[in-house]
Amino acid sequence: MNENEIELELEQDIAELEDLSEQPSREQARRVLIEDDRRISVARARLEYLFDDGTFDEIGSEVVHRCDRFGLEKRRIPGDGVITACGEIDGRPVFAFAQDRTVLGGSLGEEHAMKIVRLQDLALRSGAPLVAINDSGGARIQEGVASLGGYGEIFRRNVAASGVIPQISLIAGPCAGGAVYSPALTDFVGMVEGSSFMFLTGPKVVKTVTFEDVTVEELGGAQTHSQKTGVSQFMWPDDRSALDDVRRLLSYLPSNNQHMPPYAKPEDSRDRMDASFHDLVPTDTRKPYDVRGVIERLVDMGSFFEVHAGWARNVVVGFARMDGHVVGLVANQPEVLAGVLDIDASRKAARFIRTCNAFHIPIISLVDVPGFLPGTHQEHGAVIDHGAKLLYAYCEATVPKLSVILRKAYGGAYIVMSSKHVGGDINLAWPNAEIAVMGAAGAVEVLNRREIAAAEDPLAKIDELKKDYEDAFLNPSIAAQRGFLDAVIEPHETRRKLCRFLRYVLEKRERLPPKRHGNMPT
């Protein structure tokens, strides 16, 4: 199959997706009436709902395409299939665009692209977040290379704005080909279940080239990208939920990298104690528990906002507030795979840490990790490189970094998870925490193999040696005596201690050696 045939197949896939994209859930966000009783587009309704009431101001509403071939000379619709606008969210300036699938399938032509580019430039110059509501069939074939060039201009600005202003992409419909790369370059991506899709090549092309039978949902639906690939950090049931969460997400982010995250006066005492930690977290390091329960009891009540909830569930990440200050939480999840680090968990946590670091958000790590997941699948999948990404992210981060070892921290995973050795500012541990190269059972098997074999009662000997090892190596006081821990604290006082230490290091300033950029592992 030649390239032209593949492009034709892809065009057919996109046409079919346009029929699939009309779901009742999308209608929930539609404002069907305006003052003069005319119907308004879904794209406009999305922006009206996103912004604070009365703050929506459109930019470039009269722009039309310049193509005079293939019948387009008779279809010059003002706006050219994308609404670009500025407005306010919680009183702060925000720029946003929404592609309109009812106009030439939301396809991206030269002027369509230039409208987005001009908005990107304005957002960057103004130091304000940019929200992209993507609902496009891809490049406008009738405009040829001009449409492809438009994508390139958008991508370049996505990269220029990365780490400078927050960029959020809401996938509200089918996006294929070049349309998926701009979202992938932004800070956060979210999809609407049942109505949004992302893929480079559609099911027909996949079938033709690889002989695989796959549905659009299996290939690039919201569940696929939020649970299997990790491309999407959020999955929503409908547009209204999506836009509500975009507004909430922005409440944790500064307008740009020169500002601090928004402070919210707490209604929760920073000195609140919680005795339930003793029951919530089993002392037996082999027993699972849901670390979300720990997080929710630590942070300001009701403030935890999880990110990437459906993917790599052996680590939990998200935003919250501590004494009114925004923080990023990174926590091992003993409920899933015993909380081990693996390829996906490392990628997920590293990405989140770098996002926090870009926008002055302190990082709190809750550590309960037995190590990295062993096996050929992990090793052949380059767990070394992916684990190094997490290590790199913690070492690179210059924001305040606090950690609490809840139960165990073994081996290389101990080092990686915001230890003092990789730049942790405040490192705490609960009294029963175990910090060592490995657990006692594994250690005595390695260190005392001959002694165990010669014993009259090997099992009793193992128990004896395990007790000796635990006393000598696993007690957190050993690490504290070496300065690797700043304090051993009781579980019930964790919130109070974290709030107090956070206050002390909140204004921390740290500079890395001058360089163009680091060379992060692949």
- Report the pLDDT value the prediction gives residue 12, as an integer from 0 to 100: 58
- Between 188 and 63, the more confident residue is 188
Q: pLDDT tens for residues 174-224?
A: 888 878 999 999 999 999 999 899 998 888 889 999 999 999 999 999 999
- Report the pLDDT value the prediction gives residue 41, as an integer from 0 to 100: 66
Q: Minimal CA–CA distance to 132: which of 149, 157, 163, 102?
A: 157
Q: Is the pLDDT of residue 32 over 50?
A: no
pLDDT class of 63 with cuts at 50, 70, 90: confident
Alpha carbons 441 and 436: distance in angstroms, whole number: 12
pLDDT class of 79 with cuts at 50, 70, 90: confident
Contacts (Cβ under 8 Å, ≥6 apart) of 453: none
Q: Is the pLDDT of residue 307 over 80?
A: yes
Q: Is the pLDDT of residue 512 over 70?
A: yes
Q: pLDDT tens for residues 464-474?
A: 777 777 777 77
Alpha carbons 247 and 238: distance in angstroms, whole number: 15
Q: pLDDT tens for residues 398-454?
A: 999 999 999 999 989 999 999 999 999 999 999 999 998 777 777 777 778 888 877
- Residue 143 is classified by DSSP as G
pLDDT class of 322 with cuts at 50, 70, 90: very high
Q: Is the pLDDT of residue 363 over 70?
A: yes
| H or E element at residue 147 | helix 145-161
Contacts (Cβ under 8 Å, ≥6 apart) of 281: 289, 294, 368, 406, 407, 430, 491
- Report the pLDDT value the prediction gives residue 291, as an integer from 0 to 100: 98
Kind of pairing between the strands at 197-199 and 363-369: unpaired
Percent of residues, the chain, with pLDDT higher than 70: 88
> Which residues carry out catalysis?
177-178, 412-413
Question: Which range, of 20-24, 380-384, 497-501, averages the lowest pLDDT?
Answer: 20-24
Q: Which residue has the tokens 């990107």?
A: 120
| Mean of pLDDT values over 288-296 | 97
Question: Which range, of 7-11, 284-288, 424-428, averages the lowest pLDDT?
Answer: 7-11
Q: pLDDT tens for residues 211-247?
A: 999 999 999 999 999 999 999 999 999 999 999 999 9
Q: pLDDT tens for residues 97-143?
A: 999 887 777 778 878 899 999 999 999 999 999 999 998 877 776 66
Beta bridge mates, 426: 402
- Report the pLDDT value the prediction gives residue 14, as an integer from 0 to 100: 53
- Between 6 and 96, the more confident residue is 96
Give the number of other CB atoms < 10 A from CB of residue 10.
Answer: 21
- Report the pLDDT value the prediction gives residue 508, as an integer from 0 to 100: 93
Q: Is the pLDDT of residue 27 over 70?
A: no
- Report the pLDDT value the prediction gives residue 405, as an integer from 0 to 100: 97
Which ranges of 176-320 does DSSP label H, i.e. alpha helix? 181-184, 203-210, 216-220, 222-227, 239-250, 277-280, 291-298
- Report the pLDDT value the prediction gives residue 20, as an integer from 0 to 100: 44
- Report the pLDDT value the prediction gives residue 104, as an integer from 0 to 100: 72
Alpha carbons 81 and 27: distance in angstroms, whole number: 19
**If you average pLDDT over every residue of the chain, what do you get?**
87
Q: Could you tell me the pTM of the whole model?
A: 0.89
Question: Which range, of 67-71, 278-282, 304-308, 335-339, averages the lowest pLDDT?
Answer: 67-71
Question: Which range, of 23-27, 50-54, 102-106, averages the lowest pLDDT?
Answer: 23-27
- Report the pLDDT value the prediction gives residue 392, as an integer from 0 to 100: 97
Percent of residues, the chain, with pLDDT higher than 90: 65
Domains and CATH numbers, the chain: 3-250 (3.90.226.10), 277-430+489-505 (3.90.226.10)
- Report the pLDDT value the prediction gives residue 337, as an integer from 0 to 100: 96
Contacts (Cβ under 8 Å, ≥6 apart) of 514: none
